[in-house]
Amino acid sequence: MTSLPDQPRRTTRTPSDRMGRGRPEGARLSVGFILARRFTLCAFANFVDVLRLAADEGDRSRPILCNWTVLSDTMDAVTSSCGISVQPKERLGDPSRFDYIVVIGGLMDDEMPALGPAYNRYLREAAAAGVPLAGVCTGAFMLHQAGLLNGYRCCVSWFHHADFLEQFEGLDPVADQIFVVDRDRLTCSGGASSAHLAAYLVDKHVGRAAASKSLHIMIIDEALEPEKPQPGITLDFKTRDPLVLRALLLMQQNIDTPLAITEIARRLGHSKRQIERHFRSALDISPQAAFLSIRLSLAHHLIRTSDKSIAQIALDCGFCDSSHFSRMFRRQFETTPHALRRPGPEAGAA
């Protein structure tokens, strides 16, 4: 892990300390955004919209109670992963005028996403000044690259969990929560969960009513606590074998139309026999059995938490034959899908 020599002594500033430094009078929450190259527009837009809707009465969008701006070193437009560009509004300046600095990460190319030296210096200055830092989506990678997550728990998307482990050996990121708050570091898996992280901040600084109003206007039922599981599939398999992790990720991404193991091997650039050897060594299970377990685990979750029909859940989990689905389900969980949906004495019957 990177250590930062000769960091300035850290101080903690209150909102009143930040008044007179460009913060609008009356604002209770001020956020500066740093957008990474090919940042995810959805994560940024969800975060900003919660602030916007909480900042004013109705849907008038005046930055009264909340204030936000996009910061830049060069003031060049930043292109998102979908090709839409955002024009920064201010240069980096003094980080201490913000309550939070939020880094919105983006797509992972062949290389680990990174910010430039000017942004890393700015984030370190913010940390030294006691300004909490947030990493959204792969923003957590960038905070860690700047040496600002050492000793902190952090949240990453289940989709990027294996990549994080490969790049930052020795860390144990959280991939089964929508966001993590650890003292003055906040990290979020991205997507819709960024709205919940923003609502958490609005609740803390502006009030619960303002947070609820924002989410309701965005047609989000309620604010979720950090411990809420990510909507992806949490793996029951624990391994650090990078080949097995990549194979498991491919399985997760193809639940409804399961890939043959030969196709998974082809996509990973290995032979089927190599994949099978790695699974046996790492998990003591065949890749076929692991894939079936993942599909059945998702089916179990959907039966317990959704209103979908059993037949539809079977299709969603890659089973075209309902009787085969029922047999496999009973073999793994010692109950049938219908018995699980209607708990009773028969639900635990073998």
Q: What pLDDT is stored for residue 68 in this prediction?
A: 96
Mark whether 169 and 264 lie in a shared domain: no
Q: Which two tokens stand for residue 73?
A: 């070193």
Mark whether 258 and 177 lie in a shared domain: no
Please check whether residue 223 lies inside any domain of the structure.
no
Q: Which two tokens stand for residue 70?
A: 């996009």
Please check whether residue 9 lies inside any domain of the structure.
no
Give the pLDDT confidence of 166-221 residue by residue, as tens digits. Answer: 565 545 566 557 788 899 999 887 778 899 999 999 999 999 999 999 998 998 87
Q: What pLDDT is stored for residue 188 in this prediction?
A: 86
Please check whether residue 2 lies inside any domain of the structure.
no
Mark whether 70 and 211 lie in a shared domain: yes
Mark whether 32 and 92 lie in a shared domain: yes
Mark whether 310 and 259 lie in a shared domain: yes
End-to-end CA distance of the chain: 50
Mark whether 192 and 254 lie in a shared domain: no
Mark whether 178 and 299 lie in a shared domain: no
Mark whether 51 and 163 lie in a shared domain: yes
Q: How many domains does the chain have?
A: 2
For 50, 64, 93, 157, 331, the CA distances from 31, given in Å and listed in that order, are 12, 13, 13, 23, 52
Give the pLDDT confidence of 99-133 residue by residue, as tens digits. Answer: 999 999 877 654 555 788 999 999 999 999 999 99
Any residues with CB less than 8 A from the CB of 9 and at least 6 apart, and which?
Answer: 128
Comparing 16-20, 62-66, 190-194, 278-282, the range with the smallest average pLDDT is: 16-20
Backbone conformation region of residue 270, classed left if phi is above 0, alpha if psi is from -120 to 50, else beta: beta
Mark whether 290 and 202 lie in a shared domain: no
Question: Which is it for the CA torsion 13, 18, 19, 24, positive or negative?
Answer: negative
Residue 110 Cα to chain centre, angstroms: 20
Mark whether 54 and 118 lie in a shared domain: yes
Query: Residues 17-41: what's their mean pLDDT?
Result: 77
Instruction: Report the chain's mean pLDDT, rounded to a whole number.
Output: 82
Query: Residues 20-30: what's their mean pLDDT?
Result: 69
Domain termination residue (choose one: 200, 217, 234)? 217
Mark whether 279 and 162 lie in a shared domain: no
Mark whether 303 and 344 lie in a shared domain: yes
Please check whether residue 231 lies inside any domain of the structure.
no
Any residues with CB less than 8 A from the CB of 90 and at least 6 apart, and which?
Answer: 32, 69, 70, 71, 72
How far is the C-alpha of 311 from the C-alpha of 288, rounded, in Å? 22
23 within 8 A of 95, measured Cβ to Cβ: no
Q: Is the pLDDT of residue 16 over 50?
A: no
Place of tokens 């309701």: 216
Please check whether residue 235 lies inside any domain of the structure.
no
Domain termination residue (choose one: 148, 183, 217)? 217
Please check whether residue 236 lies inside any domain of the structure.
no
Domain termination residue (choose one: 149, 182, 217)? 217
CATH assignment at residue 340? 1.10.10.60
Within the chain, where are the H helices? 15-18, 41-54, 117-128, 139-145, 161-167, 193-205, 208-217, 242-253, 261-268, 272-283, 287-305, 310-316, 322-333, 337-341
CATH assignment at residue 42? 3.40.50.880
Please check whether residue 3 lies inside any domain of the structure.
no
Query: Residues 134-144: what's their mean pLDDT?
Result: 88
Please check whether residue 234 lies inside any domain of the structure.
no
Any residues with CB less than 8 A from the CB of 112 and at least 6 apart, and which?
Answer: 141, 145, 163, 167
Domain assignment of residue 148, given as a range: 15-217
